[in-house]
Structure 1
Amino acid sequence: MSPRLKTAGQLAGVAVVMASLSFAAVPFYDWFCRVTGFGGTTAEATQAPEKILERTMHIRFDASLEAGMPWHFKPAQRSMTVRIGEVGLAFYEAYNPTDRVIAGTASYNVTPDQAGGYFTKIDCFCFTQQVLQPGERVMMPVTFFVDPEIVNDREAKYLREITLSYTFHTTDLPEEHAATEPQTPAPVAN
């Protein structure tokens, strides 16, 4: 085999490996963030911890909408103080002021980033798609706790405040709702 063909074959192999790694990067990064709390990604649990500490944590709530999302969205309360390990319950309010059904999904993060792995959700409206009818207003709960292990973390143990932020994004309507939405007639050609 000529050196040019060998080099071309090696470069093609490198390109295939790089393309394969790029497809694997997104799921790997998502997994890494969920396991470590990196980038403010919160943890999920099915139940609260058994241990509740005397130390408290001030939790702030923030809400925003992606550009073009027509809902109104805000926390029902701006903040609360919970004991570390104690289950907290907060609500966010969403309102669809339009005359059409709109579906949305909430993305979330926690700041500072060191708190992400210790801020744990038991249940959250962000786990599923939300569909609001025209003029509908809903109160959406999030049940959470701050993991007591935060006091053993070299950096996170000094935190006294955590901010939980949500951003709602418009998503496609589920089939059962899309079928009932009025269809815009196609323009008539002259």
Structure 2
Amino acid sequence: MGDDRILLREFLRAPTRVATVTASSDALVAAMIAPLAIGDETVVVELGAGTGRVTEALQRRLGGRGRHVAIEINAVLAERLATRHPAVTVVCADAAELPVVLRTHGVAKADAISSLLPWVAYAGAPIPAIAAAALAPTGTFTQASLWLTHLLPPARRQERDLRAAFGDVSVSPVVWRNLPPARVLAARSPAPLSV
């Protein structure tokens, strides 16, 4: 079964836990990973890895170097991701469990965190603060945000929480070649002791 059919099926089963009904476009994936500095010993974490569009791009950027942990709450998507990407440590868990997941897998701090989490994840946990606490001081956190909804209260709260947890937050131009169009929030300079 194709990624879009899997996403649609899983979205219909649990719409608050699956962020979208279509896979991210190449253009959005490129915008998500462009701000991330990736070197030989980089530890990259994905939150809401879904079908693995960002996972694939990160694996290409890592080129067999560093370490890659992907967290996906949906068991079907997590299993599919683990099968497709055996070099990635795929964990079926809630993103709020990031500190426990990292400790369990022997990771002190991440160098990069990329997130495709839906707003509901932000409503249930202080994701920006959790991500800031999990990042190395020079780390970067990226979050996709749907452009059509950027003025709604949950999107404004998401950006406000990012600005509280990080010293530097930038917003990309709209990625029009995505359905729906989206922006990428890139956050750097994590505030100390954010959680």
TM-score, normalised with respect to structure 1? 0.22
Query: Which of 1 and 2 has higher RCO (CA within 8 Å, sep 6+)?
Result: 1
- Greater Rg over alpha carbons, structure: 1
- Which of the two has greater strand per residue? 1
TM-score, normalised with respect to structure 2? 0.21
